[in-house]
């Protein structure tokens, strides 16, 4: 790396902001001035410094800043940066590196992409395994991460732990984010190496002290320890373990200055169905009642076993100006009876009944057509929400007039409150955005209409439709890293069944559907072109047949 003068042109030709940008590039290890000049000899006669030439000309021409940063690849992999229309190198220097984004294409990336597309699976697994000994530590460490994620999805936890342990022997690993360490903790926990898992958690806390998922990993570890000790132990021992687990979970809420949660029934074990606010009634909403009515749409099909948990979490919301519209989609169990019972106890609840089963998105549309709120959101029938969830999201919209929607975060878990995620992403962990529970302004529905009536991915399509119509500034987020919803993991859910499994987002039903939707969004000349009625006579874009209802 060599140092050059800041400018090769008079200062008057470069704005003060550009001078700062050039300085940041010159001082960054990701820009190699000597390498840049060797690769592009015309720079020497341009009258500019290498950094100035790169920023003002080279980046737009598709030139690379150095052997470890490729601007074209960065924009291709990180669409949000491309949409923001900023310098990819400056974005990476100032934000992307800290966020764990990728600066350059690796061979291991390409192999992993093919793996998740389920193309030549055996061959790509073999190729990634061979790369574990690659002389480039980036390639070797990413190959371990790619294999670890794959084995985790296959529930091959021993192999997952083994490949991830290889990363400890490498001097420079990618991704250098908390996620690979969290996955290793999960693998060690699953195979019963609890001491090693605990040691891994301690290292995770040391290297990434503000990583929220660590608290959930500690709760999982305690739950696994309790299970290993057997269910026949003293009741007091189990009760103590539950309180210790709650303490770790509540760390997330207390750090965000939210009310902690507690057992609804002290004589029952800690489960998703036994949660409530630690001091019911102690937390009053900071948002005035007059802020506006929130319509909560709850599509229901055969959810008798857990519907009461979802509805109770809505009844306990600190923001009380709400209506809960339960749409029973021709359930064959007693879901309707459970919903009607809540209506009798709370006038804010009402039930609509579908005569035939039409799917969750059709049920949402039925509820939206009947909604009266200034804001609307969706709550799945098997989830639990923190009592301050709505308050926080409403407050986000009130304080940010440009936001059309406000998202919060979620975490998936089993009924036992064992937390997980089907595929951990390198930029987050188990906690991530709750796309299915956006809080949306009424005007969005007036402009864009309803959800697409398909089997899966319509909530993601609606979010992308909002972005296409109103731009990135319309999408707001609150309390990143704080799971305001616990989403119940069920093997029979659409995201976990073979035809519509989440893996099809890489190659299959979900991928094909979203590609077609993206083309529809791109072709729109104005927001109203993206309006979708509740029951359109023709589809605005094609969908795989397997994603259509019926």
- pLDDT per residue of the chain (550 residues) written in tens, 0 to 9: 333 434 344 444 567 778 999 999 999 999 999 999 999 999 999 999 999 999 999 999 999 999 999 999 999 988 889 988 899 999 999 999 888 788 999 999 999 999 999 999 999 999 999 999 999 999 999 999 999 999 999 999 999 999 999 999 998 999 999 999 999 999 999 999 999 999 999 999 999 999 999 999 999 999 999 888 876 666 788 889 999 999 999 999 999 999 999 999 999 999 999 999 877 666 678 899 999 999 999 999 999 999 999 999 999 999 999 999 999 999 999 999 999 999 999 999 999 999 999 999 999 999 999 999 999 999 999 999 999 999 999 999 999 999 999 999 999 999 999 999 999 999 899 999 999 999 999 999 999 999 999 999 999 999 999 999 999 999 999 999 999 999 999 866 555 557 888 999 999 999 999 999 999 999 999 999 999 999 999 999 999 999 998 7
Give 322's strand partners.
294
**Model pLDDT, residue 495:** 56
Run of H or E including 324? strand 322-328
Alpha helices in 93-232 (DSSP H): 97-99, 107-116, 121-130, 137-153, 157-165, 178-190, 194-207, 213-229
**Model pLDDT, residue 14:** 63
In terms of residues, how long is the chain?
Answer: 550
Residue 368: what are its φ and ψ, rounded to 5°? -65, -40
DSSP letter, residue 532: B
Give 275's strand partners.
263
Per-residue burial over 134-146, b if 16 or more Cβ lie within 10 Å, else e, is beeebbbbbbbbb
Q: Is the dihedral of CA 451, 389, 250, 241 positive or negative?
A: negative
235 by Cβ neighbours in 10 Å (0-12 / 13-18 / 19+) ranks as: exposed
CA–CA gap between residue 88 and residue 60 (Å, rounded): 10
**Model pLDDT, residue 524:** 96
**Model pLDDT, residue 233:** 62
CA–CA gap between residue 525 and residue 36 (Å, rounded): 41
Alpha helices in 92-136 (DSSP H): 97-99, 107-116, 121-130
CA–CA gap between residue 341 and residue 362 (Å, rounded): 24
CA–CA gap between residue 418 and residue 439 (Å, rounded): 27
Cα distances from 364 to residues 50, 217, 451, 545, in angstroms, run 56, 34, 8, 21
DSSP letter, residue 347: T
**Model pLDDT, residue 281:** 60
Run of H or E including 349? strand 349-353
DSSP letter, residue 45: G
494 by Cβ neighbours in 10 Å (0-12 / 13-18 / 19+) ranks as: middle
First to last CA, the chain: 62
**Model pLDDT, residue 496:** 55
Instruction: Name the strands in the sheet holding 375-378, side by side, starting at the edge strand that comes first in the sequence.
Output: 349-353, 322-328, 294-300, 375-378, 439-441, 405-407, 475-477
**Model pLDDT, residue 500:** 84
Residue 276: what are its φ and ψ, rounded to 5°? -160, 175
* Alpha-carbon Rg for the chain in angstroms: 26
* Residue with the two structure tokens 């600066």: 103
CA–CA gap between residue 106 and residue 112 (Å, rounded): 10
| Spatial CA neighbour of 276 closest among 306, 246, 248, 239 | 246
- How many Cα neighbours within 13 Å face the side chain of 450? 21
Alpha helices in 58-136 (DSSP H): 71-77, 79-84, 88-91, 97-99, 107-116, 121-130
CA–CA gap between residue 19 and residue 350 (Å, rounded): 61
Instruction: For residue 447, count other CB atoms closer than 10 A to its CB.
Output: 18
CA–CA gap between residue 38 and residue 35 (Å, rounded): 5
CA–CA gap between residue 355 and residue 227 (Å, rounded): 44
**Model pLDDT, residue 73:** 92
522 by Cβ neighbours in 10 Å (0-12 / 13-18 / 19+) ranks as: exposed
CA–CA gap between residue 429 and residue 427 (Å, rounded): 7
3-state secondary structure of 484: strand
DSSP letter, residue 454: S
The answer to whether the beta carbons of residues 315 and 341 sit under 8 Å apart is no
Peptide bond into 175 cis (omega under 30): yes
CA–CA gap between residue 435 and residue 453 (Å, rounded): 17
The answer to whether the beta carbons of residues 144 and 164 sit under 8 Å apart is yes
Q: Can you say whether residue 380 is alpha, beta or left, with left for phi > 0 and alpha for psi between -120 and 50 degrees?
A: beta
Question: Which residue segments constitute the domains of the chain, with CATH numbers given?
Answer: 11-99 (no CATH), 107-211 (1.25.40), 289-547 (3.90.550.10)
């Amino acid at each position: 790396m060599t140092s050059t003068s800041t400018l090769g042109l008079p200062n008057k030709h470069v704005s003060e902001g550009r001078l700062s940008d050039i300085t940041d590039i010159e001082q960054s290890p990701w820009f190699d001035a000597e390498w840049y000049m060797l690769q592009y000899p015309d720079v020497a006669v341009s009258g500019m410094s290498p950094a100035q030439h790169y920023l003002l000309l080279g980046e737009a021409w598709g030139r690379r800043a150095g052997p470890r940063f490729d601007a074209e690849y960065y924009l291709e992999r990180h669409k949000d940066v491309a949409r923001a229309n900023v310098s990819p190198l400056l974005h990476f220097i100032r934000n992307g590196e800290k966020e764990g984004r990728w600066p350059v294409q690796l061979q291991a990336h390409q192999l992993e992409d093919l793996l998740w597309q389920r193309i030549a699976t055996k061959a790509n697994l073999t190729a990634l395994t061979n790369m574990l000994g690659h002389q480039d530590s980036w390639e070797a460490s990413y190959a371990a991460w790619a294999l670890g994620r794959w084995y985790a999805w296959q529930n091959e936890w021993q192999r997952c732990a083994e490949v991830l342990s290889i990363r400890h022997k490498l001097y420079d690993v990618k991704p250098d984010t908390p996620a690979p360490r969290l996955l290793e903790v999960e693998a060690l926990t699953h195979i019963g190496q609890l001491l090693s898992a605990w040691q891994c958690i301690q290292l995770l806390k040391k290297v990434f002290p503000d990583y929220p998922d660590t608290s959930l990993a500690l709760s999982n570890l305690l739950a696994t320890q309790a299970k290993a000790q057997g269910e026949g132990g003293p009741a007091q021992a189990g009760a103590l373990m539950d309180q210790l687990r709650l303490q770790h979970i509540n760390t997330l809420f207390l750090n965000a200055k939210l009310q902690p949660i507690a057992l609804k029934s002290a004589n029952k074990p800690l489960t998703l169905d036994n949660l409530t606010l630690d001091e019911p009634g102690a937390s009053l909403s900071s948002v005035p009642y007059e802020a506006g009515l929130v319509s909560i749409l709850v599509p229901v099909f055969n959810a008798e076993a857990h519907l009461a948990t979802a509805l109770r979490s809505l009844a306990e919301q600190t923001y009380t100006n709400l209506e809960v519209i339960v749409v029973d989609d021709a359930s064959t169990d007693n879901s309707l009876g459970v919903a009607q019972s809540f209506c009798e106890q709370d006038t804010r609840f009402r039930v609509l009944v579908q005569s035939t089963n039409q799917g969750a998105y059709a049920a949402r549309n039925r509820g939206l057509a009947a909604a009266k709120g200034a804001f609307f959101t969706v709550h799945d029938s098997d989830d639990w929400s923190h009592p301050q969830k709505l308050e926080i999201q409403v407050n986000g919209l009130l304080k940010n007039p440009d936001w059309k929607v406000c998202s919060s975060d979620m975490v998936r878990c089993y009924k036992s409150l064992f937390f997980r995620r089907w595929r951990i992403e390198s930029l987050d962990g188990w906690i991530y955005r709750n796309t299915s529970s956006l809080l949306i302004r009424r005007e969005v529905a007036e402009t864009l209409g309803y959800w697409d009536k398909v089997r899966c991915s319509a909530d993601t399509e609606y979010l992308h439709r909002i972005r296409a119509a109103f731009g990135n500034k319309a999408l707001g987020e609150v309390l990143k890293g704080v799971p305001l919803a616990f989403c119940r993991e069920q093997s029979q859910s659409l995201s976990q069944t073979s035809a519509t499994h989440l893996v099809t987002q890489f190659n299959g039903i979900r991928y094909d559907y979203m590609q077609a939707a993206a083309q529809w969004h791109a072709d729109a000349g104005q927001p109203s072109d993206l309006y979708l009625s509740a029951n359109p006579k023709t589809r605005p874009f094609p969908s795989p047949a397997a994603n259509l209802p019926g």
